[in-house]
Every structure is written in structure tokens, then in C-alpha cells.
A = this chain, B = another copy of it.
């Protein structure tokens, strides 16, 4: 089934999920929407996040997508269940996969969760982890400075390093042996986060596990594509230049085409 898979995010963060999907499912076509103009979603009220996420979903509906991946933790926490209920295609979020990967990884069942204010406030990771394993201890930590660092393209800077160290300091006091990057922007900061946490702490990004879940659900529903040369498309509500610079760097592909769209 060669229809595209829709991937939506508040900005460039969902590209970390899209990249894993391209690697694990090289025949699948991805249509990506990043709502860069209204990023970050993290500090917004759930009602607003809900509205914006529906706008991206409606935009992609015209392309007859076969599946939707909400590649934004804040949006997943706010509106996954509603969109899943109302859309006629499978809808996948990033929180359950991240929780799943952490449960598989941890040895001492102490798990830290980094996320936006919205994601941390929602308690969605704690619920997802406890639903599978009630004995796990969770250490949630909001990191409101991380998304702006990534969206501005500063994720390799000295300043980023300082902010990461200052933000994560409280985690050093916990026994957590596993840290979930509970925001799809954070994998771009992963080298710094892993370095700061040290070699005894595993850093989990949900992109990897989300791509596995997408693959499992496509296969289970007999919806895998057979396209040898899928043509991905990228849409942003913001500036194509910054989006291009981050996307081409992260995906390792300078040939990608990006189109500016209006949602509101």
C-alpha cells in the first residue's frame, strides 16, 4: 500500500522519528509537517495543542495518508486518544513506545523522563510506564529550554552544553539508570545528554521504538509499501531556510524539498 505515512510535530523534532522510519522502513513514503511557526508547543495549554495538532492532521488528510504518526510528545499527551478515535487510519503516538523501550532497558526500574512542561504536567509517561510495570519509579524533569535550542539550530553550541548540564543536574541525585528523551527534539541534544549522564545511564529516544511500532502495525494490518523509491515531502508553517538547514543535517540528505504552508 504505497500511500504516504503522515508524520506531524511542533517543529523539527519529529524528524528524529522520521529518520528512524526511513531507516527501518526504506520503502515507505513520509509526508512530514512541522508547525515551526507556532513552536514550541510545550508551554501551551492542552486546548491549543489539541487545535494545532488537529490542523496538521486535517492538512495531511488531503494526501490520503494510510497512517498518522504524532511525532510530538506534547501533542501525543494532549490529543492522541481523540485523534485515534476519530481518524479512519491507524494513529501512533510517541509516548507508549518510549515507555516500552525504557521498561525493556532499565535494570533497576528507576526511570527518568525529560520532557516539555506540557508533557511532564500531563503525567502521560508515568501512566504509560506504570500501566505496563507498576513497580517502576519515575523521575520526571521539565526541560523548557531544550526545544528553543534545537529549533534555532544551536544544538551543537557551547551554550547548549551549559544549558543541558544545568538542567540535568538534579538527575545526578537519583538512582535512575535510564533516561527517556520524552520530546522528539531532544535526540538532537543526545550526545550532550549522554555525555553528561555518563556511561552507566542509558538514554532512550522514542524514535527508534516508534519506528518499530509503526513497522509492527503496518505489517500486522498488511499495509506495508512496495515503493522502491519513495518521495518524501516536507511542509513547515515557518521559515524553510532554518528547517532545511536542520533537516538536511539531521537526515544527511541535501536534496530534500521543503514547502511553506499555512494552517490556521
Chain B residue with the shortest CB-CB distance to A28: B132
The one of B25, B100, B219 that contacts A215, using a Cβ cutoff of 8 Å: B100
Q: Which chain B positions have C-beta within 8 A of A213?
A: 212, 216, 220
- With the chains together, A104 CA to B19 CA distance in Å? 12
- With the chains together, A181 CA to B82 CA distance in Å? 40
Does A257 reach chain B (CB closer than 8 Å)? no
| Shortest Cβ gap from A201 to chain B (Å) | 20
Does A126 reach chain B (CB closer than 8 Å)? no
Contact yes or no, A220 B134, CB < 8 A? no
If A213-B216, A216-B217 touch, whether A132 touches B90 (CB-CB below 8 Å) is no
Interface extent on A, as a size class?
20 to 34
Q: Which chain B positions have C-beta within 8 A of A228?
A: 134
Does A224 reach chain B (CB closer than 8 Å)? yes
A30-85 CB contacts (< 8 Å) to partner B: none
Contact yes or no, A220 B92, CB < 8 A? yes
Contact yes or no, A104 B219, CB < 8 A? no
Does A97 reach chain B (CB closer than 8 Å)? yes
- With the chains together, A212 CA to B134 CA distance in Å? 18
Number of copies of this protein chain within its complex: 2
| Shortest Cβ gap from A137 to chain B (Å) | 15
- With the chains together, A228 CA to B212 CA distance in Å? 27
Does A24 reach chain B (CB closer than 8 Å)? yes
26 contacts between A and B (CB under 8 A): A24-B103, A24-B104, A24-B132, A26-B132, A27-B131, A27-B132, A27-B133, A27-B134, A90-B220, A96-B216, A96-B219, A97-B216, A100-B212, A100-B215, A100-B219, A131-B224, A132-B215, A134-B228, A212-B212, A212-B213, A212-B216, A213-B216, A213-B220, A216-B216, A217-B217, A217-B220
* Interchain residue pairs A-B with the least CB separation, the first 6: A213-B216, A216-B216, A96-B219, A100-B215, A24-B104, A26-B133
Given A23-B104, A100-B216, A216-B217, 13 additional A-B pairs, CB 8 A:
A25-B132, A92-B220, A97-B216, A100-B215, A131-B226, A132-B215, A132-B224, A134-B228, A212-B212, A212-B216, A213-B216, A213-B220, A216-B216
